[in-house]
Structure 1
């Protein structure tokens, strides 16, 4: 099967180049074929490597009423994502090969984009219990994480790091020191104070990052920090990189676009970590600009309508993001001159693949045909009732945005088209 994508602007290592590209079976080719099966006019579009999200929650097995592998990957494809890494907050949690196989079976059956699952760090996925069967899962997981729970003792984290290093894998950490949350959450934001809310203190994140960076230096393990949200964390990671430690990190669109001043009495603003101060937001943007923050991940975390309808205080933690990430970031970062388009694509498509060893990257001869086709002129407002995800909760609902994914190809097969 040969498909001609004609006259598009192709994202290469040298930037965008206007040229034809062929999808030949599952690979890209710039050869001049005289015959082909289909031609698609991409004259006004950008062709980029498919976005890669290293932090999503697809809820299956165990919580299919929130999201399934099928609906989650359909949402990913619509958003221009060709690869996602699924967090282990499942039932059963993937802490053994037997438990993991239940998820793998669903992925093989239902996924429309590439899905790379995480195995848990601890057996109970609670940040406290003994280690999971990391060795048995090593060939089937992208990395190890207890996302949703921070590993609560230095001893357990050091043990996990040493094991992961021996297996050639990454420890991916949700950093939250629960000892700093005892007796109620702490929040210094004006909105929280005015409305009587207790938030999650910044220190609970950065203190655990600080501890883990010391352990990273001690063990030499590769270490990745999930959804960083504080200026202190940015500073710690920046220094660790300057010191040559094998550390990477991510943040999410909502932390780059919103801050605690944007909070509303609505469950669609409830996430963990919470929205923080304008100073934290500024530090995160600087971290994205200078490369301290390696990538942008959505932390796509769908819940049922009922679970998100209990207001800011009582709703479940988590918002969806796969279908809004690019248009929101393009509108509020690129269009405003905060980031270049090339940098945004690098943070969403290139860096995640490079850090996690996922096939693909800049478009070139022989590259895997995992790509998205973007229309930067398209505009509209965010309409959750049109999402392919089962989740509808987003703080960006109703916002006017620009930029839209037109088509998504995975292994050369078109898995989404807006037509």
Structure 2
């Protein structure tokens, strides 16, 4: 048995705790208010540090599949390294691979590849124009319009026709309306080719489909401040929908990027695009008011050469924890709210698939009740942030194969002090 003492943050409280865990099982044994002396615990952190239940990023692109075509961008091993570097202990990997996981066989083939690394990887299955649900419970991803890869729909009716088969399933939506994208594909800039209207229209469509087919819905990497009104209204009337927001949409806006060179701005291209300052501020306010459920990076590692050619997507795993310190210290967001979107929300999302995952691999049972909570029976996985040790993001700091970050040159007010994964200090 080992005991860690630290100032801890959950959605309910911020206080010092003594957390005892079993290194063999990797599970928390007991949690109590801190009473032990420093000499009586195995790991001691003073109040300069803040401990969260292991943080989770439920929207990333690890790039590895059975084809191996994109592992030069990232693979499951480098994903694991980048995640731990950023204080992240579990991730959710998206299905837009060269060979997408869209049925039992293709999903399990990819699942076997992901099982070789330490960081737990929950894999989404893809929904396409001719797909059907798997025979076991998994999260699904629907690309409402073209993004990166070939797994998308060309019109909303085609999506509706397929979702009728996915009633009551867990479906995440990339909200960009395909017909609006088609109508604007010849515009000069990326933002004009993927206008705000595309996200707003897709938001209403997704909310309608979630309600129509009783889906457990999630809106991915949300960027449109105006669309939050519809999401909040849907939540209030009982629609089963949650919402992600990315660090880059919270930190940057087009106005803030104007001082960067045209080449530098190319590196910020993503889908949906970085929006205006009013959108950024609206997203921050939605976090503060509790309407955002997950901080998710949409980690999309492309090479610098690919970015210069206009490929969309930004890496983000390495900077997850340092960015959280910006939310805490610069934006003054309550640590209890942060605990909800970085630990508990992602943990709840991950944990609901544990029965299905455990039926596929005995080794997964070491996760106990799962992630995201500082309670007995849950994984002894912790993300510990140092709130007085600033970190300037440099390429040498990164573990992703992409070897760059949208935050290069930025200094965050804190950093990742330590990470524990299933009872082991990493």
Does the alignment pair 1:99 with 2:96? Answer: no
Runs of 4 or more consecutive aligned structure 1 residues displaced over 6 Å after TM superposition: none
1:104-123 to 2 correspondence within 5 Å? 104-109=111-116, 111-122=117-128
Per-residue deviation, 1:398 = 0.7
Paired position in structure 2 for 1:43: 46
Does the alignment pair 1:72 with 2:83? Answer: no
Partners in 2 of 1:78 and 1:300 — Cα distance? 14
Paired position in structure 1 for 2:58: 54
Cα RMSD (Å) of the superposition? 2.7
Partners in 1 of 2:334 and 2:382 — Cα distance? 20
Match of 2:320 among 307, 315, 325: 325
1:110-259 to 2 correspondence within 5 Å? 111-122=117-128, 129-131=129-131, 133-136=132-135, 138-139=136-137, 141-146=138-143, 148=147, 151-165=153-167, 168-182=168-182, 184-185=184-185, 198-259=192-253
Per-residue deviation, 1:20 = 2.3
Partners in 1 of 2:414 and 2:21 — Cα distance? 24
* Unpaired segments ≥5 residues, structure 1: 123-128
* Unpaired segments ≥5 residues, structure 2: 353-369
Contact 1:87 1:145 survives alignment (8 Å): no
Task: Spell out, residue by residue over 1:280-327, the C-alpha distance to the aligned partner (whole angstroms, 9 max, x if none).
Answer: 11221121122222111000000122112x2xxx32111111111232
Contact 2:384 2:416 survives alignment (8 Å): yes
Count of matched residue pairs = 389
Partners in 1 of 2:191 and 2:220 — Cα distance? 24
Paired position in structure 2 for 1:316: 311
Q: Answer with 370-379 or 154-163: which moved more.
A: 154-163
Partners in 2 of 1:338 and 1:365 — Cα distance? 30
TM (norm. structure 1) is 0.85
Match of 2:91 among 84, 93, 113: 84
Partners in 1 of 2:13 and 2:191 — Cα distance? 46
TM (norm. structure 2) is 0.84
